[in-house]
Structure formats: C-alpha cells, structure tokens
C-alpha cells in the first residue's frame, strides 16, 4: 500500500452538497488521503459513512449515467487497522468507488490491486470528505480494495465503500474470431 499525499479541504462541511472542486489526481496508483475539518459534528455511524459515499456519487449518477449498486461494503476500523474488500469487475464497464467516512477528519490510505496483486491505475477525486476512484478494468477479474485510515478525533471510525458502473464503448475485437465450430 502506498503512502498518501495530503489533500486539505479546510472549509468543507460534512453532509453538504457543496462540491469541493474535484481535484483530479493523475496517480499511477490509487494512493491518497483526505483532511476535512469540521470538528463539531457528532460521532457518526456506518450509515453516515454510507450517506456520505452516496452523496459523492450523486453527480456521477445524475450527470454521468453511472449506475450505483445498493450492495456495499462497510464496517468500522481502528486507526491504522486495515481491511480488504473484493469486487468482481468486468471488462467493458468503467467503475467508480466512493469511500465515505463517519469521521470528519480521516486520513485514508487506499490501494486497489488486480488479480495479480498489481496496483491499478485510475483517477482519484475528492468530494467533501469522501473519495472517488474511477478506473476501467483491462480484463474481467476480482479486484482488491485495501483501505486503512486514521481519524483525527477518534480512535476508530466507520467507513462505507459504494460502487457504481457504466458501460464503456468497446470494440469487440475478436468478434470475427473463433466460431470455428461453425466453419469447420
């Protein structure tokens, strides 16, 4: 898992629909961190993390035609603890992962790896205190999203990882291929 760069959006309010200027980080790998400062918000639970992740997805759904899955991964982590979630992805789709946290100031470390353990390149954005990671898989496989985090004002935090997908134009390059059972 890679060390993360810091992203500091100091005036963002948790839960607001204000779109923090989506800073697109052209990362070779998905490695990032976030710092959002709004200390007076009460401790949240997993559902809050889910809500925040969904908020981050809203624009992609409304304007980008991304279909969000209602199934999502979630849980609680102690600071520094790691968890890994598997997602089956299919070539021909683009995928968006939205990571929300219950804590206002949480520094996340996230790594997405393919079936061979290689880190996957993608586009990283930030929405309030949530992360968005988008990529187009080069093949059908189960990817591993490994995440850990450190909450500034708590020993542990809740997280939720929502994902969405959308087909991408692809050339069916082997469409003329095979079918030898017909020709022979």
> Binding to another protein by residue 141, rule CB under 8 A?
yes
Give CA–CA dist 74/161, Å, rounded. 6
Tokens of 32: 């990032």
Do the beta carbons of residue 99 and residue 93 sit within 8 Å? no
Does residue 181 sit in helix, strand or coil? helix
Q: Which is nearer to another protein, 12 or 148 (CB)?
A: 148
Q: Which is nearer to another protein, 10 or 181 (CB)?
A: 181
> Binding to another protein by residue 173, rule CB under 8 A?
yes
Residue 116: phi, psi to the nearest 5?
Answer: -95, 5
CB count in 10 Å sphere of residue 139: 9
> Binding to another protein by residue 16, rule CB under 8 A?
no
How distant is the alpha carbon of residue 7 from its chain centre?
Answer: 16
Contacts of residue 117, Cβ cutoff 8 Å, sequence gap at least 6: none
> Binding to another protein by residue 108, rule CB under 8 A?
no
Dihedral over alpha carbons 57, 58, 62, 68 (to 10 degrees): 50
Residue from 17, 23, 69, 78 touching another protein (CB under 8 A): that is 69
Q: Which stretch binds another protein (CB under 8 A): 4-12, 51-59, 124-132, 137-145?
A: 137-145
> Binding to another protein by residue 21, rule CB under 8 A?
no
Residue from 3, 62, 116, 155 touching another protein (CB under 8 A): that is 116
> Binding to another protein by residue 140, rule CB under 8 A?
yes
Q: Which is nearer to another protein, 12 or 109 (CB)?
A: 109
Do the beta carbons of residue 79 and residue 156 sit within 8 Å? yes
Using CB under 8 A as the criterion, which residues of the chain lie in contact with another protein when the complex forms? 46, 67, 69-75, 83-88, 90-93, 114-117, 139-142, 144, 160, 163, 165, 167, 169-170, 172-175, 177-181, 184
């Amino acid at each position: 898992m890679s060390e993360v760069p810091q992203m500091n959006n100091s005036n963002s309010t948790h839960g607001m629909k204000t779109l923090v200027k989506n800073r697109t980080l052209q990362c070779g790998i998905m490695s990032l961190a976030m710092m959002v400062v709004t200390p007076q918000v009460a401790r949240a639970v997993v559902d809050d993390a889910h809500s925040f992740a969904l908020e981050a997805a809203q624009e992609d759904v409304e304007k980008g035609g991304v279909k969000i899955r209602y199934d999502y991964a979630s849980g609680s982590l102690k600071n520094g603890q790691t968890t890994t979630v598997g997602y089956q992805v299919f070539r021909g789709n683009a995928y968006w992962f939205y990571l929300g946290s219950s804590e206002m100031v949480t520094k996340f470390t996230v790594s997405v790896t393919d079936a061979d353990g290689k880190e996957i390149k993608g586009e990283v954005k930030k929405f309030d205190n949530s992360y968005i990671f988008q990529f187009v898989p080069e093949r059908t496989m189960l990817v591993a999203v490994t995440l850990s985090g450190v909450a500034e004002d708590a020993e542990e935090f809740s997280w939720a990882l929502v994902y969405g997908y959308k087909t991408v134009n692809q050339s069916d390059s082997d469409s003329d291929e095979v079918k030898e059972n017909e020709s022979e």
